[in-house]
């Protein structure tokens, strides 16, 4: 951490109330007035003027807008991570996975198989309800050309899922488990739109996963 960054961090801790109020309101001028008042109060008998207090307060608060951006970005990232973890923990519980990496791999295998069977417009609408980090995984390697793929039977779909799983994994168990998870996180209307894009025989997989799909 360079000297200027150290000064900024110390200033935020020294004027915690002013900084907290600024994070809430975004009013830098009011925060500067509050810091200038704090400087005056703590100066005691030391020499100084209102003008010098204000100049010092401006120096202290000048870097605060950058910290708001950083704090906001960190909050957005934390929120995205929290939503993604909730999905993966649901998958882990549903499939009795050993860890979140295994849950992630299973979710990816089924989402990619669904994605490649959807026309581009429906593919995008489906993704819109996913956490942003899962959405990134969903789109990884996707190209809208030559879509939707011709997966005419349940075996065609399961073979595609199996191609993305480790040898020995049961693609039917993984698929039905992931479909149940999706029903808990994606709106019922959107899931119906997704299923309409599958041949009738492939829709049997959804019926196997959930009686509500029938």
Q: How far apart are CA 161 and CA 106, in angstroms?
A: 9
Judge if 15 and 121 occupy the same domain: no
Answer whether residue 46 is part of any domain: yes
Q: Is residue 122 part of a domain?
A: yes
The pLDDT tens digits of the residues spanning 56-112 come to 889 888 888 876 666 666 666 677 788 999 999 999 999 999 999 999 999 999 999
The domain of 166 spans 76-213
Write down the residue that tokens 């200038």 correspond to.
Answer: 36
Q: Are residues 99 and 129 in the same domain?
A: yes
pLDDT score, position 74? 66
Percentage of residues of the chain with pLDDT beyond 70: 85
What is the residue-averaged pLDDT of the chain? 83
Domain co-membership, 198 together with 154:
yes
DSSP string, 59-82: HHHTTHHHHHHHHHHHHHHHHHHH
Q: What is the CATH number of the domain that holds 200?
A: 1.10.490.110
Assess whether 160 and 128 both reside in one domain: yes
Give the pLDDT of residue 13: 45
Domain count, the chain: 2
Give residue-wise pLDDT tens across range 41-51: 777 677 778 88
* pLDDT tens for each residue of 131-166: 888 988 998 888 877 788 888 899 999 999 999 999
68: in domain: no
DSSP conformation class of 98 = S
67 within some domain: no
> Do 115 and 10 share a structural domain?
no
**CA 39 to mean position of chain CA atoms:** 41
Per the document, the length of the chain is 214
3-state DSSP call for residue 99? Answer: coil
* CB-based contact 34:53 (threshold 8 Å): no
Using alpha carbons, list the distances in angstroms from residue 197 to 88, 137, 164. Answer: 26, 21, 22
Same domain, 122 and 176: yes
Whether residue 99 sits in one domain with residue 191: yes
- Least confident window among 54-58, 180-184, 202-206: 202-206
The residues, any chain, with a CB within 8 Å of residue 146's CB and separated by 6 or more, are none
| Whole-structure pTM value | 0.65
Residue 45 lies in a domain: yes
**Distance between CA atoms of residues 148 and 165, nearest Å:** 21
Whether residue 112 sits in one domain with residue 40: no
Q: Does one domain contain both 81 and 177?
A: yes
**71 lies in a domain?**
no
Q: 117 with 189, same domain?
A: yes
Of residues 4, 6, 12, the one with CA closest to residue 64: 12
């Amino acid at each position: 951490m360079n000297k200027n960054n150290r000064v900024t961090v110390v200033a935020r801790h020294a004027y915690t109330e002013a900084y907290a109020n600024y994070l809430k309101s975004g009013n830098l001028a009011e925060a500067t007035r509050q810091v200038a008042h704090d400087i005056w109060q703590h100066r005691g008998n030391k020499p100084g003027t209102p003008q010098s207090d204000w100049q010092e307060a401006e120096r202290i608060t000048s870097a605060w807008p950058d910290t708001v951006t950083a704090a906001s970005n960190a909050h957005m990232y934390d929120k995205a991570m929290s939503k993604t973890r909730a999905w993966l923990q649901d998958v882990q519980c549903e499939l009795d996975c050993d860890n979140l990496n295994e849950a992630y791999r299973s979710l990816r295998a089924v989402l990619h198989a669904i994605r490649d069977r959807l026309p581009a417009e429906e593919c995008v609408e489906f993704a819109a309800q996913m956490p942003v980090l899962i959405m990134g995984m969903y789109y990884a390697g996707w190209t809208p050309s030559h879509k939707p793929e011709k997966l005419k039977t349940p075996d065609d779909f399961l073979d595609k899922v199996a191609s993305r799983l480790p040898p020995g994994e049961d693609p039917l168990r993984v698929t039905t488990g992931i479909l149940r998870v999706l029903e808990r996180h994606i709106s019922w209307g959107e899931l119906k739109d997704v299923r309409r894009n599958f041949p009738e025989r492939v829709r049997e997989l959804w019926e196997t996963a959930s009686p509500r799909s029938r």
